Amino acid sequence: MPAKGVLVAETADVVIAGGGVIGTAIAWRAAAAGLDVVLVDPDHGDAASLVAAGMLAPVSEALFGEGALLRINLLAVRRFPSFAAELEDVTGRHVGLRREGTLAVAYDPGDYAALMRLTAFRRSAGLDAEERDSRACRQLESFLTPDVHGGVLFAGDWSVDNRRYAAALREAMAAAKVRIVRDRVTGALVRDGRARGVRLADGGSIDSAVVVIAAGCWSGAVAGLPGTVRAAVRPVKGQLLRLRHPEGMAPVITHTIRATVRGTDIYLVPRADGEMIVGATQEERGPDRTVTAGAVHDLLHDAMSVLPVTSELILAETCAGLRPGTPDNGPIVGGFGVDGLLLATGHYRNGILMSPVTADAIVAGLTGQRPAAEWGPFSPRRFIAGPADGD
Ligand SMILES: Cc1cc2nc3c(=O)[nH]c(=O)nc-3n(C[C@H](O)[C@H](O)[C@H](O)COP(=O)(O)OP(=O)(O)OC[C@H]3O[C@@H](n4cnc5c(N)ncnc54)[C@H](O)[C@@H]3O)c2cc1C
């Protein structure tokens, strides 16, 4: 990998800006399809992909008014196992896919009424939802407090260990001969209505006929995109905790638990290696990635309210990441009228889930095939109001 500060003058079929799960999934699949790929990222350690909880949760993420998002999330969850199996095959690494489902629990009667309204909506969309009373919830998860009012099992939700998954993607991409440049893309180079490559922060450039901007919440900082598209991506801060079981203690949960505690939502996600994730805040604070005492307190307080045994686990890590949010909560994937200039960003709360289908959609476009029809509503064109900014 060239060190930062080294001028790079390369050529490639495809340049990808961004090495989170979206950029690396695209890079791996594009290289596997026979394309010569360069991926540029200054430091993937900043990626939201490494902070995420790893839920693959089309059902418990289904909210009123987000029908198109539900359809793409359902496509994504169906695709995930075959994509993960191929990744495990290529790398010999386990990515920690779990299929136990999500148990959504409500702490008090008000929380339960809200859960029931959402459950009716999810059923009306054809999704599986099994209601459980408080006792039946505890038969599934014995450490839940008896105070839990009731719950619903959403069997269609899964999870993956996103850090293992991201590491496997990086390994698969390297094995597929993707070249990695440690730098920042400052702009897409566009001439005569065509992408020509990218400009780098160190002053170098890379020539290519295809440029994919997959820089997560930072995608709007890349020059050469229409101003309205750049403005459409914003960071949405999420703080999250990683807890570990003390030596010899059996895992305290087996399902992902989503709990509403007096109107506040939290989730607890079990990992095969004995971690339990507790998340997450959702904050409009621009690029701030600090971890606050208040967030740690609130997450632990709500987790202990529904699962008191949480207090016995080890607080292994606190972290904060930036989800790439958009005005309609949907991803921004595809082209917008400049030949060869593509976007793959704005995946907000579901970027881990959507990474395989995003790679499929972009690689379909690069190899002359049609992306799945579910992508129709998520074109960048929905945000375009004027001509592209100068690059
Ligand atoms: C607390 C939290 C919990 C979450 N939980 C889940 C979950 O359970 N399930 C789920 O599916 N999703 C979840 N998400 C969302 C998910 O993490 C994101 O949607 C996803 O990681 C976005 O991936 P990405 O590759 O687009 O962006 P990122 O992972 O943020 O990666 C972007 C990369 O681009 C690089 N970059 C930035 N600027 C440039 C540039 N100019 N040039 C080149 N590279 C650049 C960065 O260094 C970074 O490596 C969660 C997010 C958070 C914060």
Residue nearest to atom 10 of ligand 1 (CA): 350
User: Does ligand 1 have an atom closer than 6 angstroms to the CB of 345?
Assistant: yes
Q: Is the CB of 303 under 6 A from ligand 1?
A: no
pLDDT of res. 10:
85
pLDDT at 387: 44
- Check: CB of residue 335 under 8 Å from CB of residue 39: no
187 lines ligand 1 (CB under 6 A): no
How far is residue 159's CA from residue 168's CA, in Å, rounded to a whole number?
A: 16
- Taking CA atoms only, the protein residue closest to ligand 1 atom 50 is 52
Q: What confidence score (pLDDT) does residue 388 get?
A: 45
Q: Burial of 304 by CB count in 10 Å (0-12 exposed, 13-18 middle, 19+ buried)?
A: middle
According to the model, what pLDDT value does residue 3 have? 43
Helices (H), the chain: 21-32, 67-91, 109-124, 134-140, 162-175, 227-232, 293-306, 351-366
CB neighbour burial string for 307-332, b if at least 16 within 10 angstroms, e if fewer: bebbeebeeeebbbbbbbbbebbbbb
| 225 touches ligand 1 (CB under 6 Å) | no
Distance 325 CA to ligand 1 centre (A): 10
Expressed in angstroms and rounded, the spacing between residue 48 Cα and the centre of ligand 1 is 3
Cα 47 to ligand 1 centroid, rounded to whole Å: 5
pLDDT at residue number 7 = 46
Residue 299 to residue 278: CA distance in whole angstroms = 7
> Among 49, 225, 353, which residue has the most ligand 1 atoms within 8 Å of its CB, making it the best to mutate?
49
Cα of 286 vs centre of ligand 1, distance in Å, is 15
pLDDT of residue 273: 87
Q: State in Å: Cα 332 to ligand 1 middle.
A: 14
Q: Which residues of the chain fall short of a pLDDT of 70?
A: 1-9, 385-391
What per-residue confidence (pLDDT) applies to 261? Answer: 92
| CA–centroid distance, residue 168 to ligand 1 (Å) | 16
Q: Strand 130-133 to strand 37-40: parallel, antiparallel, or no bridges (unpaired)?
A: unpaired
In terms of DSSP bridges, do strands 314-325 and 275-279 run parallel, antiparallel, or are they unpaired? unpaired
